[in-house]
């Protein structure tokens, strides 16, 4: 199996695709992105990086940031975190408020918006928003060994001005006592975290610790082996909102999508994969990104459900 | 790692456990089962069978039958099946009717009751109920190489007499045109399928094709490699109703539970595992069965999210 | 105010109306009715009958029967009835099952289908279905002083064959223990009750006891003054399903509609009104019937919210 | 019927009642009120005022203010208002957000919190919050002929600091485009409107225009006869949140309750009634206030559903 050739083929197919999905319009700054863009980058367990298309163009990672924010929060409060957030698929859209009313302000999981806002509240505790964002950027610099990753302030501003649903979610949880810091500071942290800009190459590097059972490729541990497995489990069951089951069925990899068109997917022991194409499908996930991952899975046989040996 | 010793330890711990959950009472025949029972059986990819406790005592497989019924239905109608059933976690209880109203009679997935009733309707097409059940039993005989597996008619009768919610679900879907055969025949098929009696040993044998990427250990294919992966994906995201996310997080194996207290869990490439203990936890899954699988996962490192090599 | 002239004007306007709504199609027998039909009949407190259009043509009273069935059931079990049915507007469609799941099988009010099925269960207790229907017909004969009112068996059969949602509702409530008799007998009673055929004239006569504070115009009491008021209150808040608030706002009379296109409306102390036109609006109530009642209310000033003196 | 004696009897019974409900605790300033208080005042159509107990003690009118705010808003935008707010009972609690998600940011009616916030947005248009509140106070001064009515600023502050659910509701509707002014200004207006302090006597005077078919007792019209009827209809179907049906059934008067323990009830043509007792029942309405109104209705026969003549 020649991974380079597989990637070349996929990049060619994606470049020529007619149906490219629809670029998200509810964050004005994101609506400006060219739907013709497509990039892919794969960091392998044996230390290679294979990439194609716009793999080195930065884009807004949006909800993919929730994976790194969750990892940080688990490092701070451990399993106490699960008293404030569930770990079940939500069965509803990423910004649904219905479930919160039925379940007394406890979000279903850390990857829907409400859950990620609680995680932001945890990460903010004892800090100013600027410090909390700084901590996240330093974490990404450490994971990628690349200090250039930063927040796109135009996007952050754009989200702040139009994020009425997220303001509603945060205040709603505050009414139930599940937000401890002032709502505007929590949301400031959350909106800036979502506005972090990264390329596919950077994202694939950042995901390596999940591929490597929690280890940093340069040595040392980012998280325990068990925690790496568990974060992957959450990505598989909850990483694509109300299309998580379909993604698991068709692609079989833990993944997390963002409304900016990026997807981070992990094949434990094998690969950390990032794809990007800004047009979304009707479930709010990157259309060509999903298609590309499905072709990659078919060509490589990569899936957590493949019959393969424990070493 | 000595699997025999691990199993011995777990069986000892489960025998002495104080909190054993609560035996399901809504099917009168099941309420009679002794909560002290516990069994476990593991069929490994290298052809061994390791077992302990009441591994050879038969019990009502109930919803675990949905895995085999789905496999048969996919064999008959292929991906057409997904026009009538979704493949997303439901975010609600196994017998919820709310989602059906919102989504026009299309059940969320084939493992909640509504979905399994649609599958029964597919399997019944062109047959009488007796023939449809016979086909399922023959499929299990073929998978286990054991012709003694049969329906417990007392349990089937008990379900028929008290299954008002399932009658409601079936008629509700019929109103939307998503049940094609007469409702009483479909439910007759469904209730008898749920009343199939198997032991842990038999269940572990029946699950081997999912461990082996679709192959029958005696040679030949039960399903394609891709279909085996996909059934595993559905088990992981939807196999434990509203506790599927938690099961994936803690145990990391595709699994399917039944209200009779059994759980079938698959480690692709490695093991097909069946546990049984009749007491249920508050999410309706076997309490000690879940605990035992968690200890097994911790002791062996088995998880689809473990970093391990493709051979 | 010349009521005869007002009625003539309204009948003329309704005869020429272009938008006549859509005849219900889910009960095949009802779908055959000519949408050009329109009738109105008003029985006044001073003993007059003013009518126009097809006032003497029989039609299927459908859910209007729920008013008379409730009156009978209250006569049998009194306020005990409210342990099994609520008396709040449902905020959802007439055949919704969602609310039942959230509220443990207790329907919101006796005028949605689920509530009316519980009422049918109460009226059936100790009887065979034929006797229960006979009792309802005798009650209508007594109220109207007209023994010709009967069930349209073709309609009853049509409902029985297609009433999957109602079968679902009944079994669902049975699962919660809120249906005591066998489900098929309860539904048999309910479907036949809905299939009673009456004309506007007959309906207006049948509603007189509600206009007269519970008294029978021929002498004696049908129900107490308080009960008559309370049944009117239920009609005002719950009589038009999810359009009850709008009906109260625009027309201001207690009313009960049926999917056959009839509406019974009461002006306490003044008038018992029946209108019929088979085309329905998007909330499932007679389109021209509602329009006609609004014009009648405007022309006469009749409304329970009018400022008028207690005598 | 001697109204003075009826009131004396009721006041005596309420003074001695053991079960007084529970004072609302979610607005800290309201939690301080003495649950022993009870007042009642009745302004009759013939110009009398009959009162008893703490009829002249001021209390926070809270949601009763929604009646006057709606009257003002209808005066400004007329029936255009109904494009932004429905007029159906909600079937859920006063602060539910679920219905908003299902129905695209259009609140069910103007008396649930979400609906009243839209009304506040309408009343605020073109004004500063201070002016909008001033307009409401002037309206109440005009209705009561009493210029002393004012906002209790301690209560307004208390609501502002703890009103997270209302902030959530407002931002949620803003996300759907159903709030036009800045959310904090709209809520400032809303919180101050709810914090208006009035006594039973003042409230009964303020409600006279609804009793008199829209006329001001001192001459002139407050609203048209039709609008007065329609506001009464909304009070009857939606005035007590999820207990509106029960209130209509037991008491049969258009009414609006507030979490401060007040209720305004109208008998068109006859009486404008205000009661106050701060302890609430489990549906969030004044416990003794409701009991007192039921006894008053029983003693007087007052009900919009009574059989009485049009003059």
Q: Which ipTM did the prediction report?
A: 0.95
Q: How many helices (H) and strands (E) would you count in chain A?
A: 13, 10
| DSSP letter assigned to residue B180 | -
Q: Which CATH superfamily is domain B3-62+197-218+230-300 in?
A: DD-peptidase/beta-lactamase superfamily (3.40.710.10)
To the query of whether residue A51 is one of the catalytic residues in this protein, the response is no
CB A84 within 8 A of CB A178: yes
Position A27 scores a pLDDT of: 82
Look at phi and psi of residue D179 and say left if phi exceeds 0, alpha if psi is from -120 to 50, else beta: beta
Say whether pLDDT at B50 is over 60.
Answer: yes
Separation of CA D71 from chain center: 12
d(CA A94, CA A108): 10
Backbone angles phi and psi of A43, in degrees to 5: -100, 125
Nearest Cβ partner of D172 from A102, A168, A183? A168
CB D173 within 8 A of CB D118: yes
Inter-residue contact A311 to B308 (CB < 8 Å):
yes
Q: Do D237 and C228 touch (CB under 8 A)?
A: no
Q: For residue A239, list chain B residues with Cβ-Cβ distance below 8 A.
A: none
Judged by DSSP in three states, D197 sits in strand
Confidence at C27, pLDDT banded by 50, 70, 90: confident
Predicted local distance difference test score (pLDDT) of residue C310: 66
Q: What is the dihedral of CA C186, C189, C194, C196, to 10 degrees?
A: 180
CATH fold, domain B63-196, is: Beta-lactamase (3.40.710)
Q: Is A142 exposed, middle or buried (0-12, 13-18, 19+ CB in 10 A)?
A: middle
Residue B90, pLDDT score: 80
pLDDT at A93: 65
A-contacting chains (≥3 CB pairs under 8 Å): B, D
| pLDDT on residue C91 | 72
Per-residue confidence (pLDDT) for residue D31, from 0 to 100 = 87
Report d(CA A269, CA A275) in Å as an integer: 19
Q: Nearest 5°: phi and psi at C113?
A: -55, -45
Give the pLDDT confidence score for residue C160 in this predicted structure.
82
On the question of pLDDT at C95 being above 70, the answer is no
CA atoms within 13 A on the CB side of B184: 3
The whole-angstrom separation of Cα D246 and Cα B77 is: 52
Q: Provide mean pLDDT across the span C100-112.
A: 89
Span D293-304, mean pLDDT?
96
In this structure, of A181-185, A188-192, B28-32, D233-237, the range with the lowest mean pLDDT score is: B28-32
How far apart are alpha carbons C81 and C73 in whole angstroms?
Answer: 8
Q: How far is CA C92 from CA A310, B68, B290, C60, C241, in A?
A: 54, 38, 40, 24, 7
- Residue A2, judged by CB atoms within 10 A of its CB (0-12, 13-18, 19+), counts as exposed
Does residue B311 carry a pLDDT above 60? no
Q: Do residues A211 and A266 touch, judged by C-beta distance below 8 A? A: yes
Nearest CA to B293 out of B270, B268, B264, B269 is that of B264
* CATH architecture for the domain at D3-62+197-300: 3-Layer(aba) Sandwich (3.40)
Q: Which of C86, C113, C90, C93 is nearest to C170 (CA)?
A: C113
Question: What Å distances lie between residue B41 and B48, B263, B284, C31, C202, CA to CA?
Answer: 10, 11, 21, 60, 72
A232 touches chain B (CB under 8 A): yes
Q: What are the residues whose beta carbons fall under 8 Å from the beta carbon of A298, sequence distance 6 or more? A: none
pLDDT higher than threshold 80 for residue C94? no
Q: Of A249-258, C86-95, D25-34, D154-163, give the range with the top mean pLDDT.
A: A249-258
Confidence (pTM):
0.92
Is residue B259 a contact partner of residue B251, using CB atoms and an 8 Å limit?
no
Residue A161: which of A135, A141, A191, A181 has the closest Cα? A191
Contacts of A228 (CB under 8 A, 6+ apart): A209, A210, A212, A213, A214, A222, A268, B305, B307
pLDDT for the residue D94: 59
| Nearest Cα residue to D289 out of D25, D119, D44, D62 | D62
DSSP labels for A60-77? E-GGGHHHHHHHHHHHHH
Cβ-based neighbours of A114, under 8 Å, separated by 6 or more: A97, A99, A100, A107, A108, A169, A172, A173
In angstroms, what separates the C-alpha of A273 from chain B's closest C-alpha? 15
Measure the CA–CA gap between B283 and B279, rounded to whole angstroms.
11
pLDDT digits 0-9 by tens, A17-71: 999 999 988 788 888 999 999 999 999 999 999 999 999 999 999 999 999 999 9
For CA atoms B62, B64, B65, B70, the dihedral sign is: positive
- Strand-pairing partners, residue D272, are D43, D266
Contact B234 A245 (CB under 8 A): yes
Partner-chain residue, chosen from C101, C174, C175, that has the shortest CB–CB distance to B96: C101
Positive/negative CA dihedral, C210, C215, C216, C221? positive
> What pLDDT does A295 receive?
97
C8 — pLDDT class (breaks 50, 70, 90)? very high
Among candidate residues D242, D235, D238, D286, the one with its CA nearest the CA of residue D260: D286
Q: What is the pLDDT of residue D241?
A: 87
In the predicted structure, residue C101 carries a pLDDT above the cut 90: no
CA B241 from chain centre, in angstroms, equals 11
Partners of A164 on chain D (C-beta within 8 Å) are 171-172, 174-175, 183
Check if A63 is active-site: yes
Residues A88 and B244: beta-carbon distance below 8 Å? yes
The dihedral built from the CA positions of residue A91, A94, A99 and A104, taken in this order, carries a sign that is positive
Cβ–Cβ contact C96 with B under 8 A: yes
pLDDT value of position B95: 63
The per-residue pLDDT of chain B, averaged, comes to 94
Helix then strand then coil, in percent of chain D rounded to 5, is: 50, 15, 35
Q: How far apart are CA B77 and CA B85, in angstroms?
A: 12
**Nearest to residue D191, comparing CAs of D129, D242, D276?**
D129
Is C98 in CB contact (< 8 Å) with chain D? Answer: no
Of C137, C109, C132, C108, nearest in space to C122 by CA: C132
- In this prediction, residue D161 carries a pLDDT of 79
Are C165 and C95 within 8 A, CB to CB?
yes
Give the pLDDT confidence score for residue A161 in this predicted structure.
79
Residue of A nearest to D165 (CA): A172
Answer yes or no: is pLDDT of A98 > 80: no
d(CA A238, CA D133): 47
Q: What is the pLDDT of residue A116?
A: 97
Residues from chain B contacting residue A305 (CB–CB below 8 Å): 228-230, 232-233, 236, 254, 268, 304
Cα torsion A138, A140, A146, A149 to 10°: value is -90
**Contact assessment for residue D40 and residue D280, using Cβ atoms and an 8 Å cutoff:** no
Residue C174, classified by CB atoms within 10 Å of its CB into exposed (0-12), middle (13-18) or buried (19+), is buried
* Per-residue pLDDT at B24: 87
Tens of pLDDT along B54-99? 999 999 999 999 999 999 999 999 999 999 999 999 876 656 777 7
Tell me what pLDDT residue C93 has: 65
Query: pLDDT tens digit string along D70-105?
Result: 999 999 999 999 999 999 998 766 567 777 877 889
Tell whether the model's pLDDT for residue B208 goes beyond 60: yes
pLDDT tens per residue across span D227-272:
999 999 999 999 998 899 999 999 999 999 999 999 999 999 999 9
Does residue B303 contact residue B252 with C-beta atoms inside 8 Å?
A: yes
Contacts of C269 (CB under 8 A, 6+ apart): C45, C211, C212, C213, D306, D307, D308, D309, D310
The pLDDT of residue D29: 85
Strand partners, C266: C272
Say how far apart CA B282 and CA B298 lie, in whole Å.
23
- Window from A267-276, C209-218, D28-37, D212-221 with minimum mean pLDDT: D28-37
Q: Which residues of C touch B172 (CB under 8 A)?
A: 97, 164-165, 168
C89 contacts in chain D (CB < 8 Å): 88-89, 91, 237, 244-245
Rounded mean pLDDT of B234-251?
Answer: 95
The one catalytic residue among B11, B51, B65, B190? B190
Q: Quick one: what percent of chain B has pLDDT higher than 90?
A: 87
Instruction: Tell me if C272 sits within 8 A of D270, measured CB to CB.
Output: no
Residue D246: what are its φ and ψ, rounded to 5°? -65, -40
pLDDT of residue B292: 98
Contacts of A302 (CB under 8 A, 6+ apart): A252, A253, A267, A270, A271, A296, B310
User: If we measure between CA atoms, which residue out of C265, C230, C110 comes closest to residue D247?
Assistant: C230
Q: What is the mean pLDDT of residues A70-82?
A: 97
Domain ranges of chain D: 3-62+197-300, 63-196
Interface test with A, best of D160, D171, D173 (most A CBs within 10 A): D171
**Tens of pLDDT, residues C28-80:** 888 899 999 999 999 999 999 999 999 999 999 999 999 999 999 999 999 99
**Do A174 and D164 meet the contact criterion of CB atoms below 8 Å apart?**
yes
- Same-fold call for B3-62+197-218+230-300 versus B63-196: yes
Query: Quick check: A94 pLDDT over 80?
Result: no
- What is C3-60+198-300's CATH number, 3.40.50.300, 3.40.50.1950, 3.40.710.10, 3.20.20.140? 3.40.710.10
Whether residue B75 contacts residue B82, with contact meaning beta carbons closer than 8 Å, is answered with no
Residue window 129-158, chain A: list those with CB within 8 Å of chain B.
Answer: none
- DSSP class per residue in C237-258: HHTTGGGHHHHHHHT-S-EEE-
């Amino acid at each position: 199996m020649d991974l380079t050739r597989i990637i070349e083929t996929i990049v060619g197919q994606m470049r020529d695709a007619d149906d490219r999905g629809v670029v998200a319009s509810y964050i004005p700054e994101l609506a400006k992105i060219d739907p013709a863009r497509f990039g892919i980058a794969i960091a392998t367990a044996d230390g290679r990086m294979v990439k194609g298309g716009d793999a080195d163009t930065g884009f807004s990672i949006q909800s993919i940031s929730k994976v790194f924010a969750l990892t940080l929060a688990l490092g701070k409060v451990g399993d106490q975190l699960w008293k404030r957030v569930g770990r079940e698929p939500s069965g509803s859209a990423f910004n649904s408020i219905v479930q919160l009313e039925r379940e007394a302000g406890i979000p279903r999981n850390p990857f829907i918006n409400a859950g990620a806002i609680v995680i932001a509240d945890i990460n903010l505790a004892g800090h100013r928003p600027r410090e909390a964002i700084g901590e996240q950027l330093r974490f990404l610099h450490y994971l990628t060994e690349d200090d250039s990753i930063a927040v796109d302030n135009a996007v952050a501003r754009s989200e702040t001005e139009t994020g009425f649903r997220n303001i509603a979610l945060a205040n709603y949880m505050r009414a139930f006592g599940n937000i401890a810091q002032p709502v505007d500071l929590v949301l400031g942290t959350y909106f800036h975290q979502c506005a972090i800009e990264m390329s596919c190459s950077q994202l694939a590097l950042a995901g390596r610790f999940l591929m490597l059972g929690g280890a940093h490729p340069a040595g040392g541990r980012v998280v325990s082996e068990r925690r790496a497995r568990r974060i992957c489990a959450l990505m598989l069951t909850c990483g694509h909102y109300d299309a998580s089951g379909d993604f698991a069925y068709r692609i079989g990899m833990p993944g997390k999508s963002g409304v900016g068109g990026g997807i981070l997917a992990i094949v434990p022991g094998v690969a950390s994969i990032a794809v990007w194409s800004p047009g979304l499908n009707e479930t709010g996930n990157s259309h060509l990104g999903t298609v590309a991952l499905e072709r990659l899975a078919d060509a490589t046989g990569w899936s957590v459900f493949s019959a393969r040996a424990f070493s």
